[in-house]
Amino acid sequence: MTENPSIAIEIVLDWAYCEAKVWWQTVGRSIEEEADNLISPRTGAALLREAVQGILKLGYQGQQKGNYFEYPTLLGTLWKVRLGKWGLDNIREKMAAYSVLYEDLMTHFGEKGDIQKMNGSLYDNPTWSHRWRDLAASTGLTDLRIEIDAEQHKAGLGKIKKDKSTDIWKEPIGLADAFARSNWIVENNNFPLQEILGVGEEVYVYLPHITVGVTPELILIQRGELIYEKHYYGIRPPRMSDLLGDYSIKALFSAKQKDSDREVSSVFVRHLMSGKMVHLKPRKASGINEIEAMSSASSGG
């Protein structure tokens, strides 16, 4: 029996946003052997995801071998190895200092902190506020970020542009924030190591004419029930309407592990910067018709 063609949900959603982007991902790169040279430098956001996913994988693999390590220890080791590989050992102390100042400032803007809006509510994105900008400048956080990110090209990130008119706190994160946020995330989340069944493993939605792959950050078993966990890395917590409209979450509702008939019981959405979780119960038919239509179209079917 011939297997149905397979496609990743990320490519499906990219196609829905920009068909040309998917052509390049799936066809265009095979045209030129040197296509890698045309790919943009990696981003700080990607570096952050790699760090968090990296320690989850290391923790899971260690547990399988009977070795148990604390996540802060794993994160420290991961960054030490990375910085050594990139020839950036010389800025480790600056990065550590930056992380301490960043954590202190984030705490002031948090639920137990003393900095709030005029109406008493919390800032959705503290780093975009005037208060953050002023305190970051007075504590030396801004200067440290500039000094650290000036070296980030050695880690494969793009060179920062020196422009006095640029508000760095509204720019995409670089090396400094990737490091500081990874430490903040580890301090503010309790990842259930004992319940992890898989880290970054693809699961599948089996449709009549195509199979769609989707990758939760974690696959868990809790009290005998299968759970997928999806992570959000942004400072702003996602709104419920955004979660329910997210096709990668809709796909998880109907996804199964390879060669398994076990159905998912819940999808956990973890906002990493706050450590807060939203538990969603699967809506089996949610978005399936749209996902199948987009998948077939993006694969040329």
**pLDDT of the residue at 259:** 87
For residue 70 the two structure tokens come to 């604390």
For residue 178 the two structure tokens come to 């990737």
Please check whether residue 191 is in contact with residue 205, taking contact to mean a CB–CB distance below 8 angstroms: no
Whole-model pTM over 0.75: yes
Euclidean distance between the first and final Cα of the chain, in Å?
A: 19
Q: What is the pLDDT of residues 20-47, one digit of tens each?
A: 444 444 444 443 444 444 445 689 999 9
CB count in 10 Å sphere of residue 100: 13
Q: What is the pLDDT of residues 66-101, one digit of tens each?
A: 888 899 999 999 999 999 999 999 999 999 999 999
Angle, to 10 degrees, between the axis of helix 288-298 and the axis of helix 9-17? 80
Domain ranges in the chain are: 6-31+192-298, 44-188
**pLDDT of the residue at 292:** 52
